[in-house]
Structure 1
Amino acid sequence: MTKGSFRRSGLEWFSSLPACLLLLSVVLFSTSSDIHNQMLRGGEQLWSGYYKLRMDPVAPTCNADRDIDAAVAQELAQKPADDDPMAMLLGAQEKDPADVRLAIERSVADCKAAYQSYDSLQDKLTPGVKAYRAVELFVADLIAFGLESQRYILVLLVMLCAATATLTRHHIAMRAMETRLDYTVSLTLQTIANAMLLGSSLIFRQSSLGTETAVSSDDLLLHNFWVVGFASLTLASLYRLVRVPAGLAPGGQLNKAFLAVPLYTVMCLISGSYFALIGHTSGIGIYLGKMVELADMFLNVGLYVWVGMMLKQTRLATLVFNLFRPWRMPPELLAVVAVLVAAVPTAYTGASGIFVIAAGAVIYSELRAAGARRQLALAATAMSGSLGVVLRPCLLVVVIAYLNREVTTDDLFGWGIWVFVLTAAMFSAVALTVNRQSKFNLAPASEALPATLKALRSLIPYALVIVGVVLLYRFALDVRMDEFSAPRLLPVIMLSILVYEHISFKNKKGSATGEINHQGLERSVRGATNDTTAEIGALLLLLGLSVSIGGVIERSQIMEAFPQAFDSAWSAMLLMVMILVILGMIMDAFGAVILVTATVASIAYSSGIHPIHFWMVTLVAFELGYLSPPVALNHLLTRQVVGEAEVLAAQQEGGTFYQRHERIIMPLIAMGISLVLVAFVPLMFYA
C-alpha cells in the first residue's frame, strides 16, 4: 500500500511509459473507427460511388462483341450430355429460339455494361482518389489490427501494472506493511499466490494443446502472454521478498501480519485451493480468460483510472472547492457539498473506488482545512464516490445493460437519478443532524457571492477546453458525449486540460496564480501514469481474481441451495439484499456484476422483482458493501490516498462511540437507510 524505493528511483518510466503507450493505443484504436466512418462519408461526398473505388476494378472477361446470331445457332445445336440425366430430361423439350436469343442479348448487354462500368471506374481513379484511398484503407487496417490486439493489450497492461504494484508495494490490503513480520508474511503469500497463478496458466495452456480441437496461433500466443506475465509477477514478488526494505519496524504480530496480505492474494489462495481440491487446477486460468472475452470493458476501466489520475494532477478539484470556500460553511455542510459535487466526476470515472483514488486526497485536505474533524473528513472521502455510480455515463451501469438484455442504459440512468436524489438526501440528513458539532454561521451573501463569482472565472477556461473537445468530436467525428464514447473522450479531455495548464502556467510563470509548483506537461503526464500503473495493477488483478471467486461460488453450487424462485417478492428481495451486500464486501464491482448476472439475477426475475428495480438495488447494495467492514474497500482506498498516519490519528481521537467510529458508522447509516428504501418501497406498488 505504500510506495517503495522503486517509485522514487527515477526508473518509473520503465513501467509507466509502456503503460502510457498501451493506454494511448486503446484511445487511438477506438477513435480511429470514428475517423474511418467520417472518411467513408467524406469519400462518398467527394466522389460518388467511392465504395466501388476502394479496390482496383477488375476488368471483365466476357466478350462484348459476341455474334448473337452465331451464338443462338450454337446454343440451339447443342445436345445434352449422355451422362447428365437432368440435362437429358430438359433436352427432351425443344428450345425456344426466341428465349435463347433474349438470354444471349441480355448477356451481351450485361457484358457491355460491365465494360462501361470498368472504364468509368478507371477514369475516376485519379491520383487524388488513390492517395485518399491509401489513407482510408490504412485507417481500416489500423482498426482491424486494434480490434485483434485488444486481448493482448489487456494482458500486457494487467501484467505490467501488476508487477509494478508488486515492486512498489501498492496492492490493496486491509492494512499497510509496518513490521518485518508483516512484510515477510505478505510477500511470502504473494509469491505463493503468483506461483499458483503461473501453474494454473501453464496447466490451462497444456490442456488446451491436448484437446482434439486445434488451438489457433492467436490463442496460443495469448496463453504464452499469460504464462510469461505470471512468471514475471512471481519473480517480482520473489525479488521483493528477498530485498527487505529499510525502515520497517522489527518484530510484529501474526494476526496483524495476515491483514497486510493483499486482497487479490487471499482470493487467489481461496480459489486456487478450491479448484485444486476438486481436480480443476486450470480453473483460475480459465476464469481469468473471461477477462479477455470482455477486453474492451476492462480496458475502459484502465482508461477511467488514467483519467482519474490525470484529474488528480490538475487544479480542477481545488478550483471547484474555491467556489464554496467564501461561504465559510461548517464542516458538516461542506462534507455534504463535497459528496454531492463528487457524484458527477464519479459517473465519469466509472466507479466509486476510482474516484476515491483520484480526488480523495484533495477532498480530505480541503475538509480538514475547513475545520472538519478527521473522522468526518475520512467518512466523506470514503463516500465521495458512492452517489454517482447511478448517474450517466457510469461504466458500471453500461456493463450491467451489456450483460442483461432485460434492461437498457436509458432505463437504468433514468431511475438512477431518483436513486441519487434519495441517497443524497439520506447522507445530507445524517451528516447535518447526527452528531453535528458546528454552528451554521454562513458568510453573508453580499460578501460570499462576489468571491464565488471571482472564483468561478478561474473555471471558465477549463469549461472552454472541455466544450471544445466535445464539439470537435461532435462535428468532426460525429461522436456525441455519452456512456459509450466517454472512455475515449475523457482521456483526450484530460490531456487537453493538462496542455492548457502547462501553457497557461508557463506563460504566467506561476506568479499570477500562485501555482509556482506546477510540474509541467511531461511531469504531470508521467506522474499521472506512474500512479495509474500501480492502481491498474492493484485494481484489475483484484477484479480478475474476483471473477475467479465468482467461479468458485458458481461451481460450488451454493446458489442452488436457494429456491430458484420465491412465492413472495418481499422474501426474495430480503435474500437478494443480504447476498448483494455480502458480494459488495468481498468482490470488486465489475466481477460482482458478472457473478450476479449469472446466478442471482434470474432468481430475482422469477420471483417477480422487476429487472430495473433489481439492478438499482444491486448498485446501492454494492456501495453499502464497499463501505462495510470487514473489507470496506472504499475505506481502504481512502487510507491509501490520505496516508496511514491520518487514519491512525483519527482512531486515537476521543469522544463517544459514534465520534470514535464516525468514519465507518455515518456512511453505513446513510447507505443502509437508502438501501432499505430502494429495495422495499417500490414493492408496495407492483409486488
Structure 2
Amino acid sequence: MTAESRVQPVSRSGVWPQTLASLPMLVILVLTLLASVGETLHSRLLEIGGATWPEYFNLRVIDQVGAPDCQVVVDPDAAVDLAVAAKQAEKSADPFADVFGDQIDREQIRASVMATSRACERQLEKWERLQSLNGPGVQAFALMETGLAQAVLLVTGNRRVLLGLMLLFCAAAATLGRQHIALRPVESRRDDRVATVSQLVANGLLTASTWIYRQQELAQADAGMPLAHLFMHDIWVTGFGILTLISLLQLRQPRGELPPGGSWPRALLSVPLYSVMCISASIQFAFHGFYHGIAVYLTMMAELSALFLNLGLYVWVGMLLARTHLPRKVFDVLRPWRLPPKWLGVTVLLLTALPTAYSGASGIFILAAGLTLYRELRRAGTSEQLALATTAISGSMGTMLRPCLLVVIVATLNNSVTTDELFSAGARVLLLTASVYAVYVFLIGGPSQGRIAPLREAVPGMLRALVPLMPYVAIFAGVILLWNVLLDRGLDEFSAPAILPLILLLVLAFERRVLRSADPDADEALQAAGMPLPTGFVSSVLRATRESSALIGALLMLMALSVSVGGLIERSGLLEMFPEQLGSVWLTLTLLMGLLVFIGMIMDPYGAVLLVNATLAPIALNNGINPLHFWVMTVLAFEMGYLTPPVALNHLLTRQVVGVPTSPESLYGSFWQRNFRFILPVLVMGTTLIAVTYLPALWDGGFRLMLGIQSAG
C-alpha cells in the first residue's frame, strides 16, 4: 500500500457500503473494549460493595439462597428422647447390631443434638441479619453489579469467537484490499496473478486443514470424549472457505489497472508471507501425515485470545492516532529548534519510544505514525534513505518500555522474570540504542548540515507550539485521573488496552466537534479532487476502523501462520539437536543470539515468544544464563530480525505506509547508497545486540549497567 494509495476520495454513494463494511469490525472492537473496561469496573464495584456493606458478598446472591432448612431445639430432653428412640429403632432393624454392642450413650446424643441446634441458631441469626440489611440501596447496587458481571462473563467467555471473527473478517478485508504483507508490492499483472494464486492455494489448504481437524474432533466427540469449543471448527471452516472463494473471484477478475508483463523472480517476491508460510508448513505437515497440523496450532493460538484481541485494540489505537493532528503538533514543538537532520533523527527516536511501547508492537507504530515521521524528517532535509532507516528503527525503540504487550506476554509465560525487571532493563537498552544510532549517523552519515536555532528564537517558538498541545495533555491526564479515582487503577500494561482507545476517541471527538478540524490524511487528496473535507467524528472512527481491519487481518494471518511454523520447527526436532550443556557460556550466547535473530526474521514476535519459551529458554537456563539477561537479549534479537533482510518486517511496513524509494540516489546510486536504509538499522541493532549479549556475561558491572540488577553470580 503506497503513500499515494492510502487515501482515496469517497463519493457520497460509496459512503454507505464502506460504513457497513466497517460496522462488524467496529462491533468486535467495541465488545473487546467493553469487556476490558467491564472487568476492571466489575472488580471495582465488588470492592465498593464490600466496603459499603460488610456482608455484601452474601447479599448479592441472597435471592438465590433460601432460608436455612433447620429448627432450633426448644425442649432438649424431648429432642434427646426422640433421637434415642430413632437410634433404638435403627439398631433393632440391624441384624449385626449385637456385634458392635447395643449400648446407647444419651450424653453423646444430647451433645450432638445441642451442637446441631446451636449451628442452626447461628444460621438463622445470619439469615435474619442479611434480611435486615437487604434494603433498596443494596438491592439496586447488587442488581447493577451482577448484571455487569453477567455481561462481562458473556463477552469474556466467548473471546475465542471474537478472535475467530476478528481474524477471519479482517483477513477478508486484507484479501479484498490486496494488503497482505509481501517482500515487494504488486506492480504488474503477472505479480498480481502469482500473488492471487498463492493466496488461493494457501486459503484452500487452510480450509482443508480445518475441515480434517473438524471431522476428527467430531468423531472423538461421538466416541464419548468430552471436547470443548467444537463450534469453533465450523467458524474456521466457513471463514477460510469464504477466503478461498474471494481469492478465486480475484483470480477470475484480475486488476486491469496494472501494466502487463513482469518477470517471474519479481513476481514470486510479491507472494504474501502468510501464503509462503502456509504452503511450506502444509507440505511439511503432510509429509509427516499431520494433515490438520495448521488447524491444531490455530486452535492453540485461540488459547491466548485475550492477548491477540488486545493486539487488535492496539492497531485500532494506531489508526485512530493517524486520524488525529497530534503527531504533527508534536513535531511543531520541535520545528522552532531547526534541528539538523542527524540531531532530529536522534530526537525522534527518543520521542517515539513511548508511543511505540503504548502501541503494543513495533509494526503498529510504523503503521500509525510512520508517514508523518517520514515527512517531517524529509522536510528537515534528511536524505530519503536515512529517513526510511529512521522510520523503520523507530518501531523498535520502545518494545521493552512499559506497557509493551510483548513484555507482558514474556512475563505471563514464565515465572523467571517480572515485568518490572524487563521494563527497567528496557529503558537502559533504549538509551544504548539511541546512543549507538547517534554514533553511526554522525560517523557515516556525511557532514552535518545546518545549525540549531538560538535559544532566543527556539524557546518562544516552542512555547507557542506547546499551547495547542495543552488540550491533548488535559484529555490524557483527565482520563488517567478519572480512571484512577473511579476504578482505583493506574495506566499500566494491563489497563493500557482499555484506556488508550478511550483517550484517542476523546481526542478525535475534540478535534472534530470542538476544533472542527478535518482528517489530516484526507486534506490533500480530497482538496485535489474538489471534494469537501470530512470533519465528522463518526466518519473518522469508521475510517480508522476500516483501515484497522485490513492491517489487523494482515498481521493476524502472519501471526497465525507463524505459530504453525513455530510448531513445525518444534516438532521437527531441530532444536532438540541443540546440546543442553555446551560447556561455555560464550558459545551458548553466540548460538542463541544467531538462532533468535533467525527466528525474528521469519516469525512474528508473539508466535516467536511461544516457540522460544518452550525450546530455547530451558537451554539458556541449563547453561547458566540469567533469565532476565536471556529475555532482554531475546526481545532485542527479535527486533534485529525485524530489521534484517530478506524479510525485514519493519521495512515492509514502512514501505506500506511511505511507498517505495524514488530518489535518484536510491535508484541509481552505489550499493551503499541504494541500501543504506537496510544497512544502518542492521548496524545499530546489531551493535546494541552484541553489547547486550556479551557485556552482562563479561563482568558484574556490565550486568548492572545493561540490566539494572545485581548479577546472580
TM-score bin (small chain)? over 0.9
Q: Deviations over 1:167-189 (max 9, x none)?
A: 00010001111111111111011
Would you say the 8 A contact 1:208–1:215 is kept in 2? no
Q: Which amino acid aligns with 1:120?
A: R
Q: Which amino acid aligns with 1:608?
A: G
Q: Deviations over 1:589-631 (max 9, x none)?
A: 1111111111111111111111111111111111111111111
* Number of residue pairs aligned between Structure 1 and Structure 2: 682
Would you say the 8 A contact 2:385–2:673 is kept in 1? yes
Tell me: CA distance 1:406–1:99, structure 2 relative to 1, closer, same or farther (3 Å): same
Would you say the 8 A contact 2:512–2:518 is kept in 1? no
Query: 1:52 Cα shift?
Result: 1.4
Query: 1:399 Cα shift?
Result: 0.6
SS at match of 1:392: coil
Q: Which residue of 2 aligns with 1:671?
A: 685
Query: 1:109 Cα shift?
Result: 3.2
Q: Deviations over 1:203-222 (max 9, x none)?
A: 01111112266466851111
Q: How far apart are the structure 2 equivalents of 1:190 and 1:656?
A: 36
SS at match of 2:230: helix
The answer to whether 1:192 aligns with 2:198 is no
Q: How far apart are the structure 2 equivalents of 1:126 and 1:655?
A: 81
The answer to whether 1:540 aligns with 2:556 is yes
The answer to whether 1:17 aligns with 2:26 is no
SS at match of 1:12: helix
Q: How far apart are the structure 1 equivalents of 2:191 and 2:93?
A: 87
Would you say the 8 A contact 1:374–1:650 is kept in 2? no
Choose from 162, 180, 198 the match for 1:171: 180
Q: How far apart are the structure 2 equivalents of 1:501 and 1:86?
A: 89
Q: Which residue of 1 aligns with 2:54?
A: 48
Choose from 225, 240, 244 the match for 1:230: 240
Q: Which residue of 2 aligns with 1:251?
A: 261
Q: How far apart are the structure 2 equivalents of 1:627 and 1:509?
A: 31
Q: 1:216-615, aligned counterparts within 5 Å? A: 219-506=229-516, 517=533, 519-615=535-631
Q: Which residue of 2 aligns with 1:137?
A: 146
Unpaired runs of at least 5, structure 1 = none
Segment drifting more, 330-339 vs 164-173: 330-339
Tell me: CA distance 1:88–1:610, structure 2 relative to 1, closer, same or farther (3 Å): farther
Q: How far apart are the structure 1 equivalents of 2:585 and 2:98?
A: 72
Would you say the 8 A contact 2:202–2:278 is kept in 1? yes
Q: 1:56-71, aligned counterparts within 5 Å? A: 56=63, 57-64=65-72, 66-71=74-79
Q: How far apart are the structure 1 equivalents of 2:518 and 2:299?
A: 51
Q: How far apart are the structure 1 equivalents of 2:670 and 2:60?
A: 75
Q: Which residue of 1 aligns with 2:706?
A: none
Q: Deviations over 1:220-258 (max 9, x none)?
A: 111111111111111111122222122101011111111
Q: How far apart are the structure 2 equivalents of 1:90 and 1:305?
A: 76
Q: Deviations over 1:302-337 (max 9, x none)?
A: 111111111111111111111111111111221221
SS at match of 1:482: coil
SS at match of 1:682: helix
Tell me: CA distance 1:39–1:362, structure 2 relative to 1, closer, same or farther (3 Å): same
Q: Deviations over 1:349-384 (max 9, x none)?
A: 111111111110000111111111111111111111
Q: Which residue of 1 aligns with 2:647?
A: 631
The answer to whether 1:201 aligns with 2:217 is no
Tell me: CA distance 1:217–1:210, structure 2 relative to 1, closer, same or farther (3 Å): closer
Q: How far apart are the structure 1 equivalents of 2:678 and 2:50?
A: 61
Q: How far apart are the structure 2 equivalents of 1:574 and 1:234?
A: 43
Query: 1:116 Cα shift?
Result: 3.2
Tell me: CA distance 1:111–1:359, structure 2 relative to 1, closer, same or farther (3 Å): same
Q: How far apart are the structure 1 equivalents of 2:602 and 2:91?
A: 77
Would you say the 8 A contact 2:314–2:359 is kept in 1? yes
Q: How far apart are the structure 2 equivalents of 1:650 and 1:487?
A: 43
Segment drifting more, 106-115 vs 630-639: 106-115
Tell me: CA distance 1:193–1:88, structure 2 relative to 1, closer, same or farther (3 Å): farther
Q: 1:55-134, aligned counterparts within 5 Å? A: 55=61, 56=63, 57-64=65-72, 66-77=74-85, 78-79=87-88, 80-81=90-91, 92-95=102-105, 97-134=106-143
Tell me: CA distance 1:651–1:219, structure 2 relative to 1, closer, same or farther (3 Å): farther
Q: Which amino acid aligns with 1:314?
A: T
Tell me: CA distance 1:636–1:89, structure 2 relative to 1, closer, same or farther (3 Å): farther
Tell me: CA distance 1:565–1:650, structure 2 relative to 1, closer, same or farther (3 Å): farther
Q: Which amino acid aligns with 2:676?
A: E
Q: How far apart are the structure 2 equivalents of 1:509 and 1:666?
A: 34
Q: How far apart are the structure 2 equivalents of 1:636 and 1:429?
A: 25
Would you say the 8 A contact 1:4–1:167 is kept in 2? no
Segment drifting more, 625-634 vs 140-149: 140-149
The answer to whether 1:150 aligns with 2:159 is yes
Tell me: CA distance 1:179–1:417, structure 2 relative to 1, closer, same or farther (3 Å): same
Q: How far apart are the structure 2 equivalents of 1:63 and 1:403?
A: 53
SS at match of 1:681: helix
What CA RMSD, in Å, does the superposition of the two structures yield over aligned residues? 2.5
Q: Deviations over 1:126-171 (max 9, x none)?
A: 3333332222111111121122111100000000000000000010
Q: How far apart are the structure 1 equivalents of 2:8 and 2:82?
A: 86
Tell me: CA distance 1:504–1:110, structure 2 relative to 1, closer, same or farther (3 Å): same
Q: Which residue of 1 aligns with 2:169?
A: 160
Q: How far apart are the structure 1 equivalents of 2:263 and 2:644?
A: 25
Segment drifting more, 464-473 vs 55-64: 55-64
Would you say the 8 A contact 2:340–2:448 is kept in 1? yes
Q: Deviations over 1:19-77 (max 9, x none)?
A: 11111111111211221122223333443312211122412222336432111122234
SS at match of 1:567: coil
Tell me: CA distance 1:423–1:81, structure 2 relative to 1, closer, same or farther (3 Å): same
Q: TM-score, normalised by structure 2?
A: 0.91
Query: 1:84 Cα shift?
Result: 5.8
Query: 1:636 Cα shift?
Result: 0.5
Query: 1:507 Cα shift?
Result: 9.3
Would you say the 8 A contact 2:442–2:448 is kept in 1? no
Segment drifting more, 548-557 vs 117-126: 117-126
Q: How far apart are the structure 1 equivalents of 2:503 and 2:421?
A: 27
